[in-house]
Each structure stands twice: as structure tokens, then as C-alpha cells.
Amino acid sequence: MAVVPSLWRFGLLLRPGFGLMGLAGVLETLQAANQLLEQPAYDSVLLAAQAGAVPSAEGVAVLAHALGTAPRLEGVLVHADGPWRESPVEAAPLLAWLRQQAAAQAVLGGVGTGAAWLAEAGLLRGHRATAQWPHGAALAERHPEVIVSQQLYELDVTRLSCAGHRASQDLLIAWLGQRHGERLVAELLAALGREQLSPREARQRLPLAAPARGGSAKLSEAVALMEANLGEPLPTEEIARLVGVSRRQLERLFKQHLDALPSRWYLELRLERARGMLRQTHQSILQIALSCGFASGAHFSNAYRARYGHTPREERSPRAAAWRAAQAGVSVPPGAPPAVLDRSADEPNRDLPVA
């Protein structure tokens, strides 16, 4: 049996312009886990390339210690936002430090666009990873050796990644579930005021109020139209006409930024809404099918099975909870309580500002 660290310490590496909500999601999840476990098992320390205040995207500066002062780390999460614009000279020391952490067998992850740092360091080759929309496309183009997805979060052995905002909470809850079991997942969701964990296959949603940085206003308008017309789907030609582009231009925008055709993305939105209704309402399957733009129950069932691997009826069966847990990467020993990490007498390094 592998030796489990008495206190699992995460180094949270902050890059200028990082997302404050993504950082908060990590910290509050680790704090909640410590309160729910029999003994505190997780610690964190804020780090930066140089000691001092690191400005967030929201304008709030957060104090962090220099990398050279970090204690031994079992995990590192790089918090970043925005496209890759680092100069090779400035990035080199940080990339070298990340490689050292990988050599020390640390779990490595990225929040927002933090996965780009791992990719630049050569630490994501052959791994699945995700990044905050719309920067995943640039990551995939720059690093074809990385399997870039548009999912909210990815758990790939010792590599973790997620979009910003609440996705960091989903990532940490799913990862903790792998270590401690489904019971802790349920307890964390309750403690954090969440009804359910976003599944690993959930895709990122395009902001509707305004185009995201580096995205397209026309694309945002098109997705907004889709969102507003889930019950009576609009033809692709009509959506293109309403946003003022040709069908070919619209398809090019969707392929460039979302790696999907408009019709496929539209179907994903309708199925996602139907899935939420199956889980959260008592409407009949036919009522849900019709309200989500499907012509018949059979059409809905076939599309649902093709997307999720089971039928709408099975979604509501007692086995659905176990299936969702497996998709979220949560290992649940039948009837077993969640494991708790033993904590040794060693205390956290209090010379560092521990989050």
C-alpha cells in the first residue's frame, strides 16, 4: 500500500490577472473538507514567481510567497486567466519549477487557463486538459500533443484542470471524492450549498450577456438565440440570418471557438436542459421531450442515449446515481465509509501565509 502523506499540501501558484472566484472555489472546498473529515488532511499555501501582492482579474491583490520558500508540496494548482502572452525569458524559471514538482511526483493542475503553463512545461503530453473558454482553442493549436476538451473540468490521473469560477469547486469535489468516497462528495455539496456536482462530461457554457475576451460577439448572439428557443429550435439558416452572417460563417465561428457545428451545439443545449428536468422535476418524459424541442419521445430517447449512454427512463432509475458517480470519477466501495487520511504530529509550515 502506498504511503499517504499525513498532510496533503497544495501550492496555489498565482499569475497576474488570475480569477479570484477560481481561487476561492479551491480554498473553500479544501476548508470544508477539513471540517468534514475526522482530522484536517489538507493545507494550502499561496505562491507567486516573486513574493508580494499578485493582482487578480477583479482588481483585488492577494499576498503570496516566492516559489523558493515553498515547503514540500503534494499538489500544485496554477491559477491564470487570459491567453498565453508570456515571454520565454520570464516564463523559464517558473516552467523549470513546475518540472521539478512533476519530478517530485506532485499532482499538477490548472485553473482558468493554468493548464497552458503545464503544457508549456511539457507536462501535459498525452493528457486530457481543459481551459477557460475561449482559450481552449488556442491551447489546442499551440500544443497538439495535449488532448484539449471543452469540459468544465478534467481529472486525468495526476493532471487536473478546469475552467474558472465555480468549475474549480467541481474539480476539487470530484478529486476529493476519488480519495475519500461518495459520502464526502455529498457532504461537501451540502456544506457548500450545492445541489449536485457538475458531471465531468458537462461542457462549458458560453457567456450570453457579452462576448468573452477573445471570443466573438456574433457567436454569443447565436448561442443566446439558441438558449431562448430550446422548445422550438430555430434552423441554422435562421440563426445565421438573425445575427447577420452567412450559414458558412456561423459554422466557421462555432468550429473555431467551440469545436462543434451549430446544430450539434444546439442539440447539446437541449439535451442538457432535458437532463436537468429529468433530475429536478416530476414531469413526464414526453412532456420534457416536447418542451426541449424533440418531436417525439422516441426521438428524444435515441438522442439522449447517444449523448449520455443511457435512456431518459434509466436516468431516473436508482442506478442513475451510481452511474453519475462513476462518470464523475468517484470511486465508491459498496457500503464502505469514506477513507480518512491519517495525520501525523507534524504541523503545517506556519512561516508561510497558509490559505
Specify if 105 maps to a domain.
Answer: yes
Which of 148, 175, 191 is the endpoint of a domain?
191
- Domain membership flag for residue 26: yes
Q: Does some domain include residue 303? A: yes
Same domain, 29 and 90: yes
pLDDT tens-digit readout, 2-41: 444 578 999 999 999 999 999 999 999 999 999 999 899 9
One DSSP character per residue, 58-87 reads TS-EEEEEEGGG----SEEEEEE-S-----
How buried is residue 336: exposed, middle or buried, by Cβ count under 10 Å (0-12/13-18/19+)?
exposed
Domain-embedded: residue 181: yes
184 and 113 in one domain? Answer: yes
Q: Does residue 329 carry a pLDDT above 80?
A: no
51 shares its domain with 98: yes
Question: What is the predicted pLDDT for the residue at 160?
Answer: 97
Q: Pairing mode, if any, of strands 52-55 and 75-80?
A: unpaired
Structural domain contains residue 337: no
Instruction: Please check whether residues 175 and 274 belong to one and the same domain.
Output: no
Lowest mean pLDDT among 32-46, 169-183, 195-209, 287-301: 195-209
Residue 233: pLDDT band (50, 70, 90) is: very high
Residue 37: what residue type? L
Q: Does residue 137 surpass a pLDDT of 80?
A: no
Domain boundary among 191, 226, 249: 191
Residue with the bigger pLDDT between 289 and 340: it is: 289
Identity at 58, one-letter amino acid code: E
Computed over every residue of the chain, the mean pLDDT equals 83
Burial pattern 99-128, b for ≥16 Cβ within 10 A else e, equals eebbeeebbbbbbbbbbbbbbbbebbeebb
Residues 252 and 137 in one domain: no
Set of cell numbers at residue 85 = 502572452
**Residue 212 grid coordinates:** 468573452
What average pLDDT does this structure show over 151-174? 92
Q: CA-CA distance, 111 to 26, in Å (whole number)?
A: 9
**Does residue 339 lie within any of the structural domains?**
no
Higher pLDDT among residues 254 and 212, named by residue: 254
Lowest pLDDT segment from 101-105, 197-201, 221-225, 227-231 = 197-201
How many helices (H) and strands (E) the chain has is answered by: 14, 10
Euclidean distance between CA atoms 352 and 163, whole angstroms: 27
| Per-residue confidence (pLDDT) for residue 272, from 0 to 100 | 84
The residue range of the domain holding 258 is 217-327
CA end-to-end span of the chain: 30
Checking if the pLDDT of 338 tops 60, the result is no
For residue 134, say if its preceding peptide bond is cis, omega within 30 degrees of 0.
yes
Domain for residue 209, yes or no?
no
Residues 71 and 142 in one domain: yes
For the segment 193-207, the average pLDDT, to the nearest whole number, is 76
Instruction: Report which residue type is found at 181.
Output: G
CA gap 8, 2 in Å, rounded: 14
Q: Is the pLDDT of residue 70 over 90?
A: yes
Within this chain, do residues 169 and 221 fall inside the same structural domain, yes or no? no
The answer on 162 and 40 residing in a single domain is yes
